[in-house]
Amino acid sequence: MTEVVTGVSGVTRDSGVQPPWALLAELSHGCPLHCAYCSNPTELVGRSEELTTAQWAEVFRQAADLGVVQSHLSGGEPLLRRDLTGIVAAADGAGIHTQLVTSGVGLHEKRLAALTAAGLRSVQLSVQHADPRASELIAGARSFAAKERAARLVRDAELPLGLNVVLHRANLDAVDDLVELGLAWGAERIELANTQFYGWALRNREALMPDREQIARAREGVERWRGRLAGRMELVWVVPDYIDGTAKPCMGGWGALSLTVAPDGTVYPCPAAAALPGLDAPNVKDHRLEWIWRESKTFNLYRGEEWMGDPCRGCELRTKDFGGCRCQAYALTGDATRTDPACHLSPDHALVRDLVDRPRLPGPMVAPAYAYRKEGP
Amino acid sequence: MTWRPVLSRSVVFRHDRVRGADLLVLPERVVVLQGNAGSIVRLCDGVRDVDAIVAELAERHPGAPVAEEVPVFLGRLRKEGWLK
């Protein structure tokens, strides 16, 4: 996700609604992979409901006017959009930096050359495991060879390559192998992102949940590699909030830094927010993006601190974690306005502790019962 | 070897007309450049060396502590991996 470094010497923040920096464009919920950890909503948008090329181009024009400078072209699998080159050209033409977020399946030399010519700036490739068989078991599809090829193509095209690995019970013990894979594939950055439990991942929480020892070992491994890789590769560790007992500063605050446009044009403050009840999320087909960002009820619902109750209201952490994640508060307590139960100060934190410390069968992957991500009719 | 600073390929330098600021845009990060930082980065074209950049800025800003501050600033950007 986008991090805004304000300053090479500090910036003053005005009061009032600030413009967004980044846009996550979910171009399609279709995907050749069926990963059980997918954070897409369990109610996926069908392909026939997707925005057209012209509609996406208009989204990017309006986003640029609003202040967006960076976009992640994601999904699902964005390569399923046959008009992806046109979408990249539209974003780049509006002055927005584009990064393709892909499984690598469907990336061919000619396709990448066209995307690069259209202005694509960077590629982030998902990896499930360093071992081909384990990788395909997690993805629920043959895909490892396609990923290896995609990495090579991106390097040959001299585009920056990042790997994104969602970490969970079945691959946390492979951190060393994953970093070595990243080195072999020429990645400049690896994001080791502990599973965030939304959408399909929430449904598969039991099978994905690591234990505390696994996390401790992986964290040590990452620290060792950081020392060795300094200056060669950036290694990002996205914290396991359930285990750390610390609420994440979700999205940098509700309606603060970025917005998500779903395949059908519905606009959300975050990619998981479709699961929240009563959100009444607006659509780019009905409203201008500026109104959606500044005025809509959806984007103002949890903006700032007004909505906060105790213990967030009087807590000094609120300026750092913004009360944590609304979707997680809802998923665990049924009330989106409560303090994120991942926080050790939350009165609901026992819910999280019990999930982590629940006795489980030994071993990293004893016949995991994944509910693989499937598209609807 | 003389260092001729140039932006890394994952970094895009641009002006942000909405915020009236110069930015470095990276795949996962946006860096807001303050004050005259943008006018320094603009000279990092892989052709000019640090001395040439300092000389050009000194001419533009007589009396400013360019010779002290600019190499330090460029060094910080190199350490971040944004300049090569």
Per-residue pLDDT tens digits for B1-35: 799 999 988 899 999 999 999 999 999 899 999 88
pLDDT at B63: 87
Question: Is residue B41 domain-resident?
Answer: yes
> Could you report the per-residue pLDDT of A173-198, keeping only the tens digit for each?
999 999 999 999 999 999 999 999 99
B7 falls within a domain: no
| Structural domain contains residue B62 | yes
Position B56 in a domain? yes
Alpha-carbon distance of A302 to A326, in angstroms, equals: 8
Gap from B13 CA to chain A (nearest CA, Å)? 10
pTM exceeds 0.90: yes
Higher-scoring residue by pLDDT: A323, A366 = A323
Which of B19, B28, B37 is closest, CB to CB, to A1?
A: B28
What is the DSSP track for A323-358?
A: TS-HHHHHHHHS-TTSPPTTSTTSTTHHHHHHHHHS
- Given CB atoms, is A97 within the 8 Å cutoff of chain B? yes
Is B5 within a domain? no
Could you tell me the pLDDT band of residue A9, with boundaries at 50, 70 and 90? very low
In a domain, B1, yes or no: no
CA distance A19 to A27: 22
Domain assignment present for B48? yes
Considering only CB atoms, which chain B residues are within 8 Å of A154?
A: none
Q: In what order do the strands lie in the sheet with A258-261?
A: A234-238, A189-194, A161-167, A122-126, A97-102, A70-74, A22-26, A258-261, A267-268
Nearest chain A residue (CA) to B81: A231
- Rounded to a whole number of angstroms, the distance from the CA of A9 to the nearest CA of chain B is 6
Over residues A220-245, the pLDDT tens digits come to 999 999 999 987 899 999 999 999 99
Contact A162/B35, CB-based, under 8 Å?
no
Q: Which of B29, B41, B76 has the most A C-beta neighbours within 10 Å, making it the best mutation to test the interface with A?
A: B29
Asked whether residue B57 is assigned to any structural domain, the reply reads yes
Total structural domains within chain B: 1
Range of the domain at B49: 12-80
- Residues of chain B in contact with residue A5, where contact means CB-CB under 8 angstroms, are 29-32
Interface contacts (A, B; CB < 8 Å): 73
Model pLDDT for residues A84-132, shown as the tens digit of each residue: 999 999 999 999 999 999 999 999 999 999 999 999 999 999 999 999 9
Look at A5 and B29 and tell me if their CB atoms are within 8 Å. yes
User: Chain B residues contacting A, CB < 8 Å?
Assistant: 9-10, 12, 14, 16, 18-19, 23, 25, 27-35, 37, 73, 76-77, 81
User: What ipTM goes with this model?
Assistant: 0.89
